Every structure is written in structure tokens, then in C-alpha cells.
Structure 1
Amino acid sequence: MVGSGKLSYAQAATVGVTLFSMFFGAGNLILPPLLGLQAGTDIIPALGGFLLTGIGLPILGIVVVALAGTARALTDRVHPVYGRLFVAAIYLSIGPCLAIPRTSSTSFEMLAPLLPANVPLETARLVFSLLFFAVAFLLALRPGRLTKLLGHITGPALILLIIAVTMAAVFDPVESVGAAQAPYNQAPLAQGFLKGYETMDLLASLTFGIVIATNIRALGVTEPSAVAREISRAGAVAGIIIGLIYCGFAFTGVQLSTVIPDATNGATVLSTSAQMHFGQVGVAIAAAIFLLACLNVCIGLISCCGSYFQEEFPRTKYLAWAAGFAIFSCVVSNFGLDTILKFSVPLLNALYPVSITLVVMGLFHRFADRVAYLWPVVIGVVTVVSVSMSLRSALASELWIPFDMLPLVDVGLEWVLPAVLAAVLCISVNVLRRTSKKQQLA
């Protein structure tokens, strides 16, 4: 321990690896290899867009929440009721409704090829999920000690396994790279940007601070400004690690763009690459990577969700919340990975534009706080547009709605122009009011 104001470099690195372990789960493993495979010769712009939403925005989210204090302190600028509902929606989406069940389902999908042929998959899935969530629940009972587990043991082990797989692909490249496939054959930058939504890391960045702050205080840093600084440092460390892995995984996918061009799942890409370079042992290594990564994230998410809802509803203890989320997630995970992923897209399309807008405004909060009604108007407009489009996509995809006339609708960014116009309107009204008051006083 260095004192009450700053962590040592070793401690800061450990906390950064802890945050990386909490972030790096199913989506982070599946998406970059498939992006590389499908983007092919257009990998540079596609990966650039993916890194913006997959790393850039989550790091900014960590910083913004650290500056605000909590996610609620940020969203309450819109309205306390909105803040409470939106933050709860984020916790539920990255928790029991989507991300936590996905960790178990993805892990099982990678382990399934290693099972004997006569084992019933549904029975095996049920047994696996029960064991998976039992272990995750037990390890999440002490959220203040996650640094010792994720930062010192499972996080470094995961990084070493990933290095083994990616370096094998880097030092043994194939001769040709395939052309870009749909949807990356048109607007690869925008498609990569939208694909980054599916990592769910921006949503997670708005919530992970509560557990990371607990771990930082346990290391002796107690001053609020110092805690915020250390959270930001941890975000930078985690972002660098994840960025390097994304590039390595995307390169691995590019190398297989002519080998398995019809692959539809990033897990298949990694598993195939590992098998090509390490034989059947490679399949086991890939399965170990997925299991370790998903278990790390599951532990972190149960801890975050349990901690938040205990604060919101203190009459119910952390133990009960954590157990409830683990049990519910176990049930949902048995519906299978495809069902979970199908449900995820409209939910993320509703939450992500609002989260992006919150982060951008949070970076300029000193200015935004001085403009009357800027927070509720801009966030309200983005919420209406994104939720409307998501509901249409989920319930009646062929139905035409007025928002279909907005620019950038073809790349899923139809909310951008309304957000900008709402901000300009609020700022203009504010300037006119100030000018009018000055004239009256004169």
C-alpha cells in the first residue's frame, strides 16, 4: 500500500487486469474474429469502427462515471426518476436478462464438441449451467476481494491462453485474404461501429465502477478524487489490453477468411484457428479461454448487480440479490445461445444510443449543466427515437414509422441528427434568454 492517495504501479496494473477480466467475456471473444473473417480486405475501417464502440466509448464511460461519482449521479441530471429507471435497465440487461446467461451459454457451446457423442446436449447444458452458476455465485460473495481472484489468478491465465492462440496465427499466416462479405462490403466503418454495441461494454462501463471503487478502497485509497483517478487509470489499462486482443483476434479471423468463409460464429473461428495450429489440444485451449473469460465476467456481473440493487433496496441483503440473479440467469441460459443473442439486438439498439449520448454530455458536463433543460431534452429525444426504432424492429419489422426518414437510418445512426438538433435548440434558447436579460438590465 502506498498511502491513502495513490496506488503503486503494481497495484494499479492489478486493478486494471481485474477490470479487464470483468469486461472480457462472451461478446469480446466472439465478435472480433467473426468481424475479421467477414470484413476481409476491408478489415482496417471495420476494425476502426469496432474499436470506437468496443474500447473508446467504454473507457470514456469509466472516466465519466468516475468524474460523476456513480451512474445514478450522471443519469439523475436528466431526472431522478429517469435515472433510476435507466440505470436499473442497464443493470438488468448486462445482468440476468442478457449478459450473465450469455456467459454460461457461450462457455457450453465451446465445451460441447469435447463431450462424448452419446451425451444428451440438453441434459449436459443443464448440468453445466448449474455448476457454472454455483461456482460464480460462491466466488461473487466477496465483491471486495475480486482483485485477488481476477487480478492475480484468472485474469493473467486468460491473457496467457489468448496470447498462445493469437501468436500462432500471427506467425503462421495464410497466403490470401478474402474480399469483404455483407454487411462489411458496404460502409465497413459504420458496420464495425454498430457491431461494437454487441460487446455491451459501454453499458458495463457505466456500472463496473461501483465494484472497482470497492476494491480500490480496500487497497487503501479512500479520498473520492483519488478513487476516481484510480478508476480512470484502471480503465486505461483494461482498454489497452482489450485493444491488443481485439486486433489479434481480428487478424486471426482475416487469416481464415478464405479457409472457412461461411462461418457464422466467432467461436468457430477461434476454435478452427486453434485446431489448425495445435491440433485437438487447440480445441481444448479455445474452450478453456471461453470458460475462463465467461466465468470472470459472470462473477463480476453478479457482484455489480447485487451491489447496486442492495444499495437501491437495502432491506434485501446482497446475498439474496446475488443468489436471485444467479438462479434466474441459470434458467435463462438453458434457452440456448441463439435465443439469447436474438433477443439482445433490439435491447442494445434501445440502450446504446442513450448511453453514448450520456457519455458525450458527461465529458462536457460543466458546459451542459449550465444550459437549462439540455440534459432532459437531448436525452429525451434520443430515448424516444432509439426505443421506437427498437420496438419496431422487434415487433413489426416491416412497419414504416416517421423516423425512417431520418439521415443515417440505413446504418443505424438515425438518432444522431435529432440529438444534435435538440442540443442546438436548447443552447440557442439559452443564449437568447441571456441576451434578453442583459438588454433588460441595460
Structure 2
Amino acid sequence: MTLTGRQRLLMTFTFFSMFFGASNLIFPPFVGAQAGSASVGALAGFIVSAVGLPILGVLAVSSAGGFDRLSARVSPRFASLLGLAIILTIGPCFAIPRTATTSFEMMVVPHLPDGMPKWAAQLAYSAVFFAVAFLLAQHPERISGVLGRYMGPLLLVMIAVVFGACLVHGVDTAAAPSGDYADGQVARGFLDGYQTIDLPAALYFGIVIASNIRSRGVDDERQIGRETFYAGLGTGVLLIAVYAALGYVGVVSGSITPVDAAHDTGATVLTNLTASLSGTAGTAFLGVVFLIACLNVCTGLICTCGTYFHERFRTDGGRGVSYRGWQSLITVFGFVVSNAGLSAIIKVSVPVLSALYPIAIVLVLLSLVHRVFSSRFPRVYLWTVVCVGVVSFADCADKLAAVFGLTVPVLPGLLELLPLHDQQLGWLLPACVGLIVGVADSRLRR
């Protein structure tokens, strides 16, 4: 059995809703505002990493039968540790709390009455926000009925309204490239595409999409993998269209109000635009857009993390904490962190995420060539991950030390010896070394 065209569209909207959060909403306009007249090349680089890598991740995971099976090609223990690290980082320790705080800053803060304590307003807002997300995430296998049928299309319509307003306004003269985009726009856009954090999320979002596909009568695992990939491919098309539109929004905003790359953010770019075009009503409309985007992602992440922990830690007899128990724990933890210590958690989580990203990239790329190359030299998985992991976690240790005002002796100097380290690509050379060693090791063992 296969899904109908309408059901595939529903899965695509669901996948898109789970991907498209605050970071996806603010980075493309920021790229467009800084790149200005060179925004086409900058957005092309951004789309390659922000859309291409996640969709390749969906393809790799679908063909491997799940990310756990893919990472187990290194070793089963490694698969468990890496999976847990990714889930904690993209879930309760970072992304889930951030959805509440970001939407609060955009939805509520601009309209707070004078004299009202911000902490009290945030506490009340996040309580309602997480309560709604908890209710929407009650049944992961039926999440497409909410996100795919209503929330995703509504978000797309609202983004189209903002884009339409920019088309009507037009651009007399696009601003000259500035800030990080003064030169090397394509490369800079590629690196900023990392900031969406969609690749690690793509590695596990498939478990929720797969459960929704099963609920519609598809029980063949190969067909489930194909349908998951179709949904991922459709999501990629939507993301490219939306990123292009938001990039143009940034160009228009930058032509109205010049952007200060040192202090402004993508949220500032959008706020400047809506305030100048529609005043207070525009700012309120933008706040609703952020609310829907963040609520969608929070719901998807709660479903993903709850399903992961429920399946990972139950016994062979099916005993263990129920999905509802994990869902409750994750929701409460996200609520507490979003109000009590998000800034500290983010400072720690970002270096950890930057260490996990290169490992995820090499695993995905090796999986894509598994049939023609990696299966013939299976040791490339271990050696490539080891070489990349050493450099990535050394860089993580250096950044974590800086967070706490410390310095690890010798380590910064050693990392700077790596080619492209300043461009956050210092792991490329170790990956090549691991690839060569893995091929040699495989041939010797054979």
C-alpha cells in the first residue's frame, strides 16, 4: 500500500512544520539584509547547507532504516551515545526551551504594559505555551492531523502575506553587501545555513513521520522509508521557496533600514520591516507568525524526543516509562529551563552542537555512497568518525572553556593549524585522513 497524493502532501506539510522554527524564520532575512545586492549567491549557499544537508540526511536515514542503524555502522555503543547527545541537544536542553523564549520576545515583549515584570509575563506565557504544545503532542502518530492540515498551511499563508507586502513595496536600490557578507557571500551563506540546526533534527524527525505513515495503513518498512523520503523531498521544495521569499524580505528591509551586523539579528530585520510598513499591527502580525512557527517545532520536538526515549529505554517485554510519561517530563523540563536558565544552557549547548554537526555530516555522506563505496570498505565509518570526532570535540572543549572564562593550554594553537578552521571547517582534513585510513584498514582486514 502507498499513500495517496493528498496524504503525501499532508506529510510534507507536517515535516515542514516540524522543521520551520524561529531560526528558519530569522536567518534568511538576515542573510538578505546583509548581502543586499549580492543576496542571490548568499542565499544559494545558505540553501545548500540549510536545505540540502537536511534532505540528504532524510534520504540517508530512510535508506539505512533509521539513524540508529546508520550510526551503528561505527559501533552499537557509539550509536547509543550519539543518538542521546543529539536528542538532548536538539530537544529539552536547547531547542524546546528556545521555542518558548523566542516566541515570547516577539509576541509579548513589544506589547508589555509599563510596570509589568517581564519575568512574570514570561512565566505565564511559557506555562500556556507548553500546555498547548503538550496537548498537541499527545498522539505522535496523529500529529499530521494538526500540523499538516492546519498549522503548516497557516504558517505558509502568513509568510506569503509578508512576502506580498514586500513585493508591493519593492526595492529601489538594494544595499551594498555589509558585515560578514561584505565578500565571500556564497561561502558565508553556506556556513550560516548550519545555524538552522536542521540536519541533526532531520536524523530523528523521521520516526514521527514514519509513525504517521503507519497509521494510514502502510506497514511495509521499505515503503515507509520511501514515503518518508518523499515527504522530506517535498519539504525541501517548500523550504527553498520560503527561504528565497524571506531572503527578498531581508533585502527590502535592508533597503529601508540599514542593518548593523554587530548588534542586529534577523528578528530585528523583520521587526524593522513590519513596523515601517504596517506599524503596530505589523509587529503584532509578525509576533503571531513567530508563535505558530515556534509552537509547531516545539510540538514536533516533544513528539520526537518522547518517542525516542520511550523506544530506547523500554525492555524487551515492552515495560518502561510510557510515551506520555516521557512527554510530561520533557515538557516540564523545557518549561523550567526556558524560565530559569536558558541563556546558560544555550552557551553550553551551542559548542556541543557544533561538535555533533560534523560527525552527522560525515555519517550522512558515507551512507549516501554506502552501496558503491562504504559497504566495500566498512572501516571508513569508524576511522572517519574518530578523526572528525577528535577535532570536533577538541574544538568543543576550547569553546566550552571560553564560555567559563578559561583557556585550555596549547589547544587553540593546535586547532588553528588546521586548514579552514577559521571558517568552521577544520574537520574536513581529518575527515579525508580518516577516509584514507579506513580504506587501508578495510583492505588489510580483507
Question: For this structure pair, what is the TM-score category when the shorter chain's length is used for normalisation?
Answer: over 0.9
Q: Does 1:35 align with 2:19?
A: no
Matches within 5 A, 1:186-205: 186-205=183-202
The AA in structure 1 aligned to 2:177 is: A
Please state whether the residue corresponding to 2:254 is helix, strand or coil: coil
The equivalent of 2:366 in structure 1 is: 361
- C-alpha offsets along residues 366-401 of structure 1, whole Å, 9 cap, x if unaligned? 221221421111011111111111220221486524
Which deviates the most, 321-330 or 46-55? 46-55
Q: Is 2:324 aligned against 1:319?
A: yes
Equivalent in the alignment of 1:237: 234
Give per-residue Cα distances to partners, 1:249-295, cap 9 Å, x unaligned.
11111222241422612122222222333332211111111001100
Q: Who is 1:423 aligned against?
A: 435
Residue 437 of structure 1 aligns with which residue? none
Name 1:73's counterpart in structure 2: 69
Q: Which residue of 2 aligns with 1:207?
A: 204
Cα offset for 1:417? 1.2
Instruction: Number of aligned residue pairs: give it.
Output: 430
Give the Cα separation in 2 of the matches to 1:344 and 1:267.
Answer: 21
1:347 aligns with 2:352: yes
* Structure 1 residue identity aligned to 2:361: I
Match of 1:295 in 2: 295
Q: Which deviates more, 371-380 or 394-403? A: 394-403
Q: Are 2:336 and 1:331 equivalent residues in the alignment?
A: yes
| Match of residue 385 from structure 1 | 391
**Which residue of 225, 230, 241 corresponds with 2:222?**
225
Which of 15, 37, 51 does residue 19 from structure 1 map onto? Answer: 15
Q: Which letter maps to 2:245?
A: G
Q: Which of 405, 409, 414 lines up with 2:417 in the alignment? A: 405
> Which position in structure 2 is the counterpart of 1:439?
none
**8 Å contact kept, 2:379–2:442:** no
Which residue does the alignment assign to 1:149? 146
Q: Counterparts of 1:338 and 1:37 in 2: how far apart (Å)?
A: 26
Contact in 2 for aligned 1:198/1:345 (Cα 8 Å):
no
Aligned-partner Cα distance in 2 for 1:82–1:353? 15
Separation (CA, whole Å) in 2 of partners of 1:398 and 1:43: 37
Q: Distance in 1 between matches of 2:439 and 2:143?
A: 44
Paired AA for residue 436 in structure 2: V
Deviations along 1:381-429, one digit per CA (max 9) or x if unpaired, are 1111111112202214865242321111121101011101221232245
Correspondence 1:266 to 2:262: no
In structure 2, distance between residues paired with 1:337 and 1:36: 28
Q: Deviations over 1:305-339 (max 9, x none)?
A: 00000011121111111111111111111257765
Q: CA deviation at 1:183?
A: 1.8
- Is contact 1:42–1:185 with CA below 8 Å preserved after alignment? no
Match of 2:317 in 1: none
Q: How far has the Cα of 1:179 moved from its partner?
A: 2.3
- Deviation of 1:342 (Å): 4.1
Moved more, 195-204 or 364-373: 364-373
How many angstroms does 1:41 deviate by? 2.8
What amino acid is the match of 1:106? T
Distance 2:41 2:343 in 1: 28
Q: RMSD in angstroms over aligned alpha carbons?
A: 1.8
Separation of aligned partners in 2, 1:364 and 1:228: 17
Cα distance in 2 for partners of 1:80, 1:401 equals 34
Question: Is residue 256 from structure 1 mapped to residue 253 from structure 2 by the alignment?
Answer: yes
Whether the aligned pair in 1 keeps the contact of 2:419 and 2:426 (CA below 8 Å) is yes
Tell me the residue number matched to 1:90: 86
Q: Which residue is 1:99 aligned to?
A: 95
- Of the three residues 54, 61, 69, the one matched with 1:58 is 54
The Cα shift of 1:348 comes to: 2.3
Deviates more, 1:298-307 or 1:370-379: 370-379
Is 1:44 matched up with 2:56?
A: no
Give the distance between the partners of 2:92 and 2:441, measured in 1 at CA.
42
Corresponding position: 1:177 with 2:174: yes
Higher mean C-alpha deviation, range 297-306 or range 395-404: 395-404
Residue 114 of structure 2 aligns to a residue whose secondary structure is coil
Counterparts of 2:97 and 2:217 in 1: how far apart (Å)? 34
**Equivalent AA in structure 2 for residue 76 of structure 1:** A
Q: SS in structure 2 opposite 1:256?
A: helix
CA-CA distance at 1:347 after TM superposition: 2.3
Distance between the aligned counterparts of 1:234 and 1:319, measured in 2? 26
Q: Which moved more, 1:383-392 or 1:190-199?
A: 190-199
Deviations 1:335-377 (A, max 9, x none): 5776565444312211111111111011011221221421111
Change (3 A) 1:286 1:303: same
Q: Which amino acid aligns with 1:148?
A: G
8 Å Cα contact 1:106/1:337 also seen in 2: no
TM-score (norm 1): 0.93
Which consecutive unaligned segments of at least 5 residues does structure 1 have? 435-442
Gaps of 5+ in 2: 315-319
Identity between Structure 1 and Structure 2 (%): 43
Is 1:253–1:269's contact at 8 Å kept on the other side of the alignment? Answer: yes
C-alpha displacement at 1:45, in angstroms? 2.6
Deviates more, 1:111-120 or 1:96-105: 111-120
